[in-house]
A and B are shown apart, each in its own frame.
Chain A
Amino acid sequence: MNARSENRNPNLRESVMAPLRDRLSTDAQFRNLILSILAAALEKAVYYLPDTSFDAILQDLLPAEVKRLRLNYDETQALFISARVMRVVAKETDKVVVHPIQLLPSPDRYEHWLEKGKIIFGQGMIWNSIRCFDRAIKINPGCAEAWYQKANSLFQVGSITTGIDQSASRVWSQLDFLRGALIEAIDCFDRAIRINREYTEAIYAKGSCLVELGRPDNDFGRVREAIQCFRQVLAIDPSHKNAKLALKMCQDAL
Chain B
Amino acid sequence: MNKHFGPKEYLETLKQTENLIAVAYPWELIDKIYGDSPLTRALIQSLKNKKPDRKSYCEPIFNDLVSGLSSAMQHQILEQVAIGELLLRDVNATLRKAEGQYSGFVIIVNRGLTTFFYTLTKLILARVGTFPEWERFEQPVLRPVIEFDQVVSLVHQLVKLYHEGKIPELPLEETALKDERLYLLASLQWYAVSFVVAHELGHYLNRHLDRTHSRDQEFSADETGFIVLLNCIYRKRDDIEIMKAIAGVVLALHYIEVLETTSGSRSYNHPPGARRIDRLRERFNFPGIYYNMADSFVSVSRDILKRLR
**Which residues in A have some Cβ–Cβ distance to B below 8 Å?**
44, 47-49, 123-128, 130, 157, 160-165, 167-168, 171-172, 174-178, 181
**Interface-lining segment among B65-73, B105-113, B153-161:** B65-73
A167-B205, A177-B234 are known; give 19 further A-B pairs, CB within 8 A: A44-B136, A47-B136, A48-B136, A49-B137, A125-B289, A127-B238, A127-B239, A130-B237, A157-B234, A160-B230, A160-B284, A163-B285, A164-B227, A167-B220, A168-B220, A171-B206, A172-B227, A176-B69, A177-B231
Cβ-defined partner of A167 (8 Å) among B70, B224, B290: B224
**Is residue B232 within 8 Å, beta carbon to beta carbon, of the partner chain?**
yes
Contacts known (A160-B286, A168-B224, A176-B69); A181 close to B206, Cβ less than 8 A: no
Contact of A176 with B288 in the complex, beta carbons under 8 Å: no
**Is residue B223 within 8 Å, beta carbon to beta carbon, of the partner chain?**
yes
**Is residue B282 within 8 Å, beta carbon to beta carbon, of the partner chain?**
yes
Cβ-closest 10 pairs across A and B:
A124-B287, A47-B136, A124-B289, A175-B231, A168-B223, A177-B234, A163-B283, A167-B206, A174-B70, A168-B224
Q: Which residue of A lies closest to B285 (CB)?
A: A160
Contact of A175 with B228 in the complex, beta carbons under 8 Å: yes
Rounded to whole angstroms, the CA-CA distance of A130 and B228 in the bound complex is 22
Rounded to whole angstroms, the CA-CA distance of A197 and B274 in the bound complex is 49
Among B239, B283, B285, which residue has the most Cβ atoms of chain A within 10 A?
B239
* CB proximity of A162 to chain B, nearest CB, Å: 7
Q: Which residue of A lies closest to B133 (CB)?
A: A47
Contacts between the two chains (Cβ within 8 Å), count: 85
Contact of B69 with A174 in the complex, beta carbons under 8 Å: yes
**Is residue B235 within 8 Å, beta carbon to beta carbon, of the partner chain?**
yes
Q: Which residues of B contact A163 (CB under 8 A)?
A: 282-285
Q: Which residue of A lies closest to B282 (CB)?
A: A163
Rounded to whole angstroms, the CA-CA distance of A130 and B283 in the bound complex is 24
* CB proximity of A174 to chain B, nearest CB, Å: 4
Rounded to whole angstroms, the CA-CA distance of A175 and B205 in the bound complex is 12
Q: Which residues of A contact B284 (CB under 8 A)?
A: 160-161, 163-164
**Is residue B138 within 8 Å, beta carbon to beta carbon, of the partner chain?**
yes
Q: Which residues of A contact B202 (CB under 8 A)?
A: 168, 171
What sequence of 0s and 1s flags, for each residue 227-270 of chain B, a beta carbon within 8 Å of any chain A beta carbon? 11011101101110010000000000000000000000000000
Return 7 A-B CB contacts under 8 Å, by A number: A125-B287, A126-B287, A127-B237, A162-B285, A168-B227, A176-B68, A176-B69
Q: Which residues of B contact A161 (CB under 8 A)?
A: 227, 284
Q: Which residues of A contact B287 (CB under 8 A)?
A: 123-126
Rounded to whole angstroms, the CA-CA distance of A43 and B290 in the bound complex is 17
Give chain B interface residues in 195-235, CB to chain A under 8 Å: 202, 205-206, 219-220, 223-224, 227-228, 230-232, 234-235
Contact of A124 with B290 in the complex, beta carbons under 8 Å: yes
Rounded to whole angstroms, the CA-CA distance of A7 and B231 in the bound complex is 50
* CB proximity of B291 to chain A, nearest CB, Å: 10
Contacts known (A125-B239, A160-B284, A178-B234); A171 close to B70, Cβ less than 8 A: no
Q: Which residue of B lies closest to A160 (CB)?
A: B284
Rounded to whole angstroms, the CA-CA distance of A126 and B286 in the bound complex is 10
Cβ-defined partner of B205 (8 Å) among A124, A126, A171: A171
Q: Which residues of B contact A165 (CB under 8 A)?
A: 219-220, 223, 283
Rounded to whole angstroms, the CA-CA distance of A124 and B69 in the bound complex is 26
Q: Which residues of A contact B136 (CB under 8 A)?
A: 44, 47-48
Contact of A178 with B237 in the complex, beta carbons under 8 Å: no
Cβ-defined partner of B137 (8 Å) among A47, A157, A176, A178: A47
Rounded to whole angstroms, the CA-CA distance of A218 and B126 in the bound complex is 48
Contacts known (A126-B239, A130-B237, A164-B284); A49 close to B138, Cβ less than 8 A: yes
Rounded to whole angstroms, the CA-CA distance of A49 and B290 in the bound complex is 16
Q: Which residue of B lies closest to A130 (CB)?
A: B237
Contact of A124 with B288 in the complex, beta carbons under 8 Å: yes
Rounded to whole angstroms, the CA-CA distance of A161 and B290 in the bound complex is 15
Q: Which residues of A contact B288 (CB under 8 A)?
A: 124
Q: Which residues of A contact B285 (CB under 8 A)?
A: 160, 162-163
